Amino acid sequence: MASRLSPFGRRLLLLTLLGLVVRVGYVLVVEQGDEITGDATYYHTAANLLADGKGFIEPYRYLHGGGQEYLFVEDESVIDPSANTALPIGHEEPTAGHPPLFVLLLGAGSMVGFRTVLEHQLISALIGAAAIPLIGLVGRDLAGERAGLIAAFLGATYGFLWLNDGMIMSESLVIVLAAACSLAALRFARGPSMRRALVLGVLGGLGALTRAEIALFLPVVLGWMLLRSGLPWKRRIGLFAASGAVAMAVVSPWVIRNLSVFEEPVLLSNGSGIVLVQANCDATYYGDKQGYWEYLCGLPQPVGPNGEPIDESQRDVQYRERGMEYISNHTERLLTHVVPVRVLRVWALYDPVQQLRADVLVEGRAFRLSVLALVQFAVLVPLAVAGGVLLWRRKEPLFPVAVWPLLVTFVAATAFATTRYRVTAEVAIVILAAVAIDALWTRAARGRSAAAT
């Protein structure tokens, strides 16, 4: 197969294998045997429960019953007994806490026998490595083959990309879909067609099924490209509508399932309420956790009017009401302090080492490797800015890549900031940095040639 590839394809394949070795080595040497926590527990357990035929059920309540409310609490006396704390181990209820695609992929592995934490970590590493050739293709489309290979090398070795792949986090799949969406959007920008609009719609729908905010990519980028195109308005509207219809068709089975199993309307996920309440409380508006989130702010978990258990969608409504009430009472603080800190925190400009330590506590990341990734980040970001300026001056279609940092900033400002929520922007960073490095390479080569002459 390698012999039938072009020289660029063979080099891209080698860089992909390098990235896979890095990710698998990280899993086997660093992460193997470590206890998983947080969302990693959700994805790992939910995938195995799905493979067991239980559908998409809430994994924490299944594993711990009423004990799930005490999981991250040092002093259990702060929680009063309730219908939630009385739930038995093995309790089953539907969940839409996260979109389903990553759970589906892990669940497919579970169905054929790959059920352990280590096996799910290796599946995550394999998924994450699939982003490398896509990143390389985006770089090539923007600035040529050498830029594409540089982008692929950075994608293989940049820590804030591969650190996610050893922790069973959906970010492994998010990286793949972010790169795929950018590649499809770039090709649409260079030659708009119905086929390319439909491909973009499929990828946008899959992205929405992986992380809800990726649903913003399709209407924002496609709308921007069509507004700037010279196509007749009827054609523009047709392409936009067709791409949107395909995306809706992709997500519709999940949406229909959610609307049928929950008491309150749920589309892609019902995690907005818990995010709102955990990110808007005294702990996250003042002190060391400003701009971050706090688990205790989501306690006690809501119950019904008579103290009875309620489903996930009903709890989410109450969480949302709590969060909005706090925001309405602290609007000035939110706008003048919290939102700026969220933005600074997500871009590692607000006590970045403290944030890395928080990542260790919440996600189990290796601290020293996170520091290494932070150093890489500090080097690559200025290069990425320079690469973006170069593409803008060359009048290349920059927006399908540059939109990711904008979306990350928006999500952080409206929710909260954490390192892994920046992962789509990391894709843009390595691609744009590769463009700048390629330009420097060209300039250096010209200098050597002039000197020799």
The whole-number pLDDT of residue 334 equals: 96
Tokens of 381: 């970001």
Give me the half-sphere count of Cα atoms (radius 13 Å) on the Cβ side of residue 369. 22
The whole-number pLDDT of residue 364 equals: 83
Residues with pLDDT less than 50, the chain:
none
Q: How far is CA 260 from CA 40, 254, 264, 271, 315, in A?
A: 27, 10, 10, 17, 17
The whole-number pLDDT of residue 186 equals: 96
Each residue of 161-192: pLDDT tens digit? 999 887 899 999 999 999 999 999 999 999 99
Q: Which residue in 271, 267, 272 sits closest to 255, CA to CA?
A: 267
The whole-number pLDDT of residue 3 equals: 67
Tokens of 128: 């994450």
* Bridge partner residues of 94 (DSSP): 57
> Which residue is listed with tokens 């600035």?
143
Q: Model pTM?
A: 0.94
Cis geometry, peptide bond prior to residue 219 (ω within 30 degrees of 0): no
The whole-number pLDDT of residue 223 equals: 94
Torsion of CA 354, 355, 356, 362, to 10 degrees: 110
The whole-number pLDDT of residue 2 equals: 62
Cis geometry, peptide bond prior to residue 382 (ω within 30 degrees of 0): no
151: Cβ contacts below 8 Å, ≥ 6 apart:
135, 136, 138, 139, 140, 430, 431, 433, 434, 435
Say how far apart CA 294 and CA 275 lie, in whole Å. Answer: 9
Each residue of 290-301: pLDDT tens digit? 999 998 898 888
Cβ distance 222 to 200 under 8 Å? Answer: yes
Give me the half-sphere count of Cα atoms (radius 13 Å) on the Cβ side of residue 351. 14
